């Protein structure tokens, strides 16, 4: 028969399986389950271990007595950044750069071209996002950007031009991943009503919320929005600590405003840019200018042909034309009565020289 276990051995086995102990300040309620952890006096005087989850990095460590405790994440802005199918590699890198610089952003799969744009509101709702940056590609060469406040609106549509990404060599700056940016706006944003609306939209989308779990409690780069040539120029600069100078990090792009809508991805038009020219119209004007130059060259050639075929106009003789002409001296005409001597035709040059020498010898003899 198996030997009976003693009470002391059972207690020792339970003590080995015990892993954690409650805090000293908390006492077990009466009639509740018994505390199976080892009291401090039974664990050779070692206090029980306490397990705690560290706070987010954005909140930072406690500042000590007399200081305000770290804040709480209240502004829960979440931005969905994705695109349609058919974008090129540069657009893909630009989208990835924006996701890297905005810790409060989320990603999603590419949307099919056949789907309508209002479907994006349902995608944002499923992703628990209240802002959206959507890149729409057309004809594999034109890129459009939608900035929207879902699901109520407003929303704005831009044509994206002159895109440069973080990976290019001219972008020499660097910044901490997840740090919060400063937003710098041109003074024109406060003068026009449609620019003021865009400014508020940019602040809510590109501004990282304070105490966001994925953000860092540092400010080391600046997002600048400048208006030049009826376009919005986006730049990202690093703040150098030594002399507070700025070095460009990237990405950089230019936004040409098309329309501002009251709703999200549609609705009544609040503003339409009168200076906007579509890429199709721009390419059409370039083709027309090239065709006009070609037609002009053809017309010049035809005019030259007509001039050559036309009758030449005879100019009357000028009586003063022969004033400065002097007649040449007349030489007397010499008539040769004696037939010239025929020269012997000799093919060999050595024989010709021998004949000439013989003739010279005869002449000397006759003279002598």
pLDDT at 126: 93
Q: Could you tell me if 132 and 120 are in contact, meaning their C-beta atoms sit under 8 angstroms apart?
A: yes
Number of structural domains found in the chain: 1
- Whole-number pLDDT of residue 69: 47
Who contacts 101 (Cβ-Cβ below 8 Å, separation ≥6)? 181, 236
Per-residue pLDDT for the chain (368 aa), expressed as one digit of tens each?
445 555 544 444 444 454 454 444 444 444 444 444 444 444 555 555 666 665 555 455 555 544 444 678 888 889 999 999 989 999 999 999 999 999 999 999 999 888 889 899 999 999 999 999 999 999 888 999 999 998 898 999 999 999 999 888 788 888 888 899 999 999 999 999 999 999 999 999 999 998 888 998 889 999 999 999 999 999 999 998 888 889 999 899 999 999 999 999 999 999 999 999 999 999 999 999 999 999 999 999 999 988 888 766 677 888 888 888 888 888 888 888 888 887 766 567 777 788 888 888 888 888 76
pLDDT for the residue numbered 339: 81
In a domain, 358, yes or no: no
How far, in Å, CA of 145 to CA of 155, rounded?
A: 10
Domain that holds residue 248: 79-282
In a domain, 36, yes or no: no
Q: Does any domain span residue 123?
A: yes
Residue 335: per-residue pLDDT: 81
For the stretch 54-85, pLDDT in tens is 555 545 555 554 444 467 888 888 999 999 99
Quick one: pLDDT at residue 366? Answer: 80
In whole angstroms, give the CA distance from residue 94 to residue 135.
10
Domain-embedded: residue 195 = yes
* Distance, CA of 79 to CA of 127 (rounded, Å): 9
Question: What pLDDT, on a 0 to 100 scale, did the predictor assign at position 31?
Answer: 44
In a domain, 108, yes or no: yes
In sequence order, what are the residues at sequence separation of 6 or more whose Cβ sits closer than 8 angstroms to the Cβ of residue 267? 153, 155, 261
Q: Let me know if residue 346 belongs to a domain.
A: no
337 located within any domain: no
Q: What is the per-residue pLDDT for 192?
A: 93
* 307-346 core/surface letters (b: 16 or more CB in 10 A; e: else): eeeeeeeeeeeeeeeeeeeeeeeeeeeeeeeeeeeeeeee
**CATH number, domain with residue 139:** 3.40.50.10480
CA 124 to chain CA centroid, Å, is 25
pTM reported for the whole predicted model: 0.64
Strand partners, 18: none
Query: What's the confidence (pLDDT) of residue 243?
Result: 84
Bridge partners of 105, per DSSP, are 79
Residue 141 lies in a domain: yes
The predicted structure's pLDDT at residue 274 = 94
């Amino acid at each position: 028969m198996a030997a009976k276990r003693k009470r002391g051995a059972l207690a020792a086995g339970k003590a080995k399986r015990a892993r954690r102990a409650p805090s000293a300040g908390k006492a077990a309620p009466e009639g509740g389950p018994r505390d199976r952890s080892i009291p401090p006096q039974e664990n050779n005087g070692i206090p029980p271990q306490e397990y705690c989850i560290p706070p987010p990095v954005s909140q930072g460590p406690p500042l000590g007595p007399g200081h305000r405790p770290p804040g709480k994440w209240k502004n829960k802005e979440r931005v969905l950044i994705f695109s349609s199918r058919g974008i090129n590699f540069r657009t893909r890198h630009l989208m990835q750069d924006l996701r890297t610089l905005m810790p409060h952003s989320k990603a999603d799969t590419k949307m099919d071209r056949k789907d309508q744009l209002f479907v994006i509101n349902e995608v944002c709702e499923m992703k628990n996002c209240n802002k959206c940056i959507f890149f729409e590609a057309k004809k594999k060469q034109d890129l459009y950007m939608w900035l929207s406040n879902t699901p109520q609106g407003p929303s704005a549509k831009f044509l994206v031009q002159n895109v440069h990404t973080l990976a290019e060599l001219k972008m020499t700056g660097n910044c901490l991943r997840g740090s919060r940016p400063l937003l710098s706006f041109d003074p024109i944003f406060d003068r026009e009503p449609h620019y003021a609306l865009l400014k508020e939209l940019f602040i809510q989308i590109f501004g990282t919320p304070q105490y966001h779990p994925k953000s860092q409690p540092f400010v080391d780069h600046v997002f600048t929005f400048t208006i030049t040539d009826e376009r919005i120029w986006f730049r990202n600069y690093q703040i150098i600590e030594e002399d507070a100078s700025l070095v460009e990090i990237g990405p950089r792009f230019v936004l040409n405003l098309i329309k501002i809508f009251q709703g999200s991805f549609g609705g009544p038009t609040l503003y339409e840019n009168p200076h906007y020219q579509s890429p199709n119209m721009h390419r059409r004007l370039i083709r027309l200018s090239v065709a006009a130059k070609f037609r002009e060259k053809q017309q010049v050639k035809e005019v030259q042909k007509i001039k050559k075929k036309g009758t030449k106009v005879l100019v009357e003789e000028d009586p003063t034309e022969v004033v400065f002409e002097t007649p040449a001296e007349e030489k007397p005409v010499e008539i040769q009565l004696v037939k010239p001597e025929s020269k012997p035709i000799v093919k060999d040059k050595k024989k010709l020289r021998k004949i000439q020498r013989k003739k010279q010898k005869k002449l000397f003899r006759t003279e002598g």
